Structure 1
Amino acid sequence: MSANHPVISVTGSSGAGTSTAKVALEHIFRREKVTPAIVEGDCFHRFDRYEFREKSKEFEAVGKRLSHFSDEANLFDKIADLFKDYGEKGVGKARTYIHDDEEAKIYGVEPGRFTDWRDVGEGSDLLFYEGLHGGVEEVLPYADLLLGIVPVVNLEWIQKIHRDTEMRGYSPEAVVENILSRMHDYVHFITPQFSNTDINFQRVPLVDTSNPFIARDVPTPDESVVVIRVRKPEKWGIDFPWLSSMLHDSFMSRRNTIVVPAGKMMFAMELILSPIIHELMEKKRKG
């Protein structure tokens, strides 16, 4: 952890909604005049798209499954190295995973491949990491603020099924098979991170999602609440009575937990995180 070069990490599963946290933090960075070095976690996958397919076949041949959730398919040590090096020097190593043709034009690398490793962070105020494994054990000594985005699992599955069928062209059966094939790794590599996070934002539907595999619609924000748990409120100076007064229809469910309407999730994030980011920047400026 470093006062001079703070590291903020957002962790969450595929389809969990980490993009909401990214937008909220971008708003805060803009107001605070913060220049972040942004790193997406998929650049730390061990295999590119084509290598992953071949490795998956090798695993299947011996009765095993390979998933993007597991340690076998990711470079946890490289994430830790980035956090550590950035905290010490303000610069670290990362690369970019090329998702589509638009990114291919920018980087000159075909979709599904990685760019070369390069230095990132020069001239930045802090490191902002977003990905699947931002809270694994290897990175914990080096993260200044660790955020978890984790809808209840049935909602997460509904969101993934709808996203992958409507936006990525997969069949519902293929998406369900993908969910099942990753379940062991989800339990062992994704969920344990949320015991390590400083603040969790968990969206909970208020409609029946008991069978996520037949749900026709993703529950809307009006049909959901967000449970926000702060592991050490005193460390971050969280004023829950003030938050309750600012967030209409919110309530405290435990001494370190506030429940807010899901439509106010981004507003809640900005209210909670703005003072924290400001304090991190003040410490940085004072050296």
Structure 2
Amino acid sequence: MSKKHPIISITGSSGAGTSTVKVAFEHIFRRSQINPAIVEGDSFHRYNRAEMRQAMIKAEAEGNRNFSHFGPEANIFEELEKQFKTYGETGTGKKRYYLHNDDEAAVHNKRLGTSLKGGEFTPWEDIPPGTDLLFYEGLHGGVVDAKAGVDVAKWVDLLVGVVPIVNLEWIQKIQRDTAERGYSAEAVVDTILRRMYDYVHYITPQFSRSHIDFQRVPVVDTSNPFIARDIPTADESLVVIRFRDPKNVDFPYFLSMINGSFMSRPNTIVVPGGKMGFAMEIILTPIIHKLLENKKKA
């Protein structure tokens, strides 16, 4: 953790909806005129798309049915920790981009004068000096790998977990990957099963380390996510917001500001699903301002 160069990390599984949280942070940064260094979690994958396919074939041949993007074998956790540590100490570091498709590649090719394709990485670049904070969004913003001696979470000043209940998470992933990425439902289910070991050991433990968790809970039947045809809407959901340390949380203020909210435990507030983005901005804005105040004092 660093007072001079704060780090904010948004972490959640594939299909969890971290992009929704990213939009809320973008609104906060824009209104508050904050200049963040943005780091994408996918950029710390170990393999590009073609290499990952080959690595999966090799793992399968060796009897490893759990090789996935969720675990340490397919990521460079040590480089992610180094990134956070370096930024916290100096306000600088290195970043790159994983190009999800050819449209993203075209944008960066124009900027860099390269001829990259979707599924590849851009070269590592220096984070420009003078940023106000580092903002990470991805799978492993609070990961710990005790075997490798890696502890990413300890460098993070604000760790936010995005954790829909698992059936909803699977529905969102299946719908996204079939509709937007062209995978069959069977292939997506196979991916979910293959990732389960790493999901249990490297993804979910992060949410016990996070400062705040946002968990979307549908109020419609999601008992069989593998046949669901629709993703429950925001109005068909509640959002459970858990604070690790409720000591200085102004719950009466949040309850007065967020219509329809209520407390379910001394450290937990529940809000209507449609108010999730608003709740995030109400809750997170003063925390971010406090980090920047501490930065100025330091």
TM-score grouping bracket, smaller chain normalisation: over 0.9
Aligned to 2:163: 150
Aligned to 1:112: 119
Aligned to 1:135: 142
Q: CA deviation at 1:33?
A: 1.1
Q: Aligned to 2:190, which of 177, 196, 211?
A: 177
User: 2:143 and 2:57 mapped to 1: Cα distance?
Assistant: 27
1:1-80 counterparts in 2 under 5 A? Answer: 1-65=1-65, 66-80=67-81
- Aligned amino acid, residue 252 of structure 2: P
Deviations, residues 9-38 of structure 1 (Å, cap 9, x unaligned): 000011101011111111111121110000
Deviations, residues 208-228 of structure 1 (Å, cap 9, x unaligned): 111111111111111100000
Aligned to 2:98: 97
Question: Which deviates further from its counterpart, 177-186 or 204-213?
Answer: 177-186
Q: Secondary structure at the match of 2:135?
A: strand
Q: CA RMSD in A?
A: 1.0
User: 2:178 and 2:118 mapped to 1: Cα distance?
Assistant: 20
TM-score (norm 2): 0.93
Q: Secondary structure at the match of 1:182?
A: helix
Q: Secondary structure at the match of 1:97?
A: coil
- Aligned amino acid, residue 223 of structure 1: E
**2:203 is the alignment partner of 1:187:** no
1:188-227 counterparts in 2 under 5 A? Answer: 188-227=201-240
Residue identity (%)? 64
Q: CA deviation at 1:118?
A: 2.0
Q: CA deviation at 1:233?
A: 2.1
Q: Give the aligned length.
A: 285
Q: Aligned to 1:240, which of 243, 251, 256?
A: 251
8 Å CA contact 1:86, 1:121 repeated in 2:
no
User: 1:282 and 1:188 mapped to 2: Cα distance?
Assistant: 36
8 Å CA contact 1:205, 1:224 repeated in 2:
yes
Q: CA deviation at 1:121?
A: 4.2
1:272-287 counterparts in 2 under 5 A? Answer: 272-287=283-298
User: 1:200 and 1:169 mapped to 2: Cα distance?
Assistant: 31
User: 1:207 and 1:116 mapped to 2: Cα distance?
Assistant: 45
Deviations, residues 70-127 of structure 1 (Å, cap 9, x unaligned): 1110111111111110010000122111111122223322221112222214221000
- Aligned amino acid, residue 88 of structure 1: E
- Aligned amino acid, residue 118 of structure 1: E
Aligned to 2:272: 261
Q: Secondary structure at the match of 1:186?
A: helix
User: 1:25 and 1:199 mapped to 2: Cα distance?
Assistant: 14
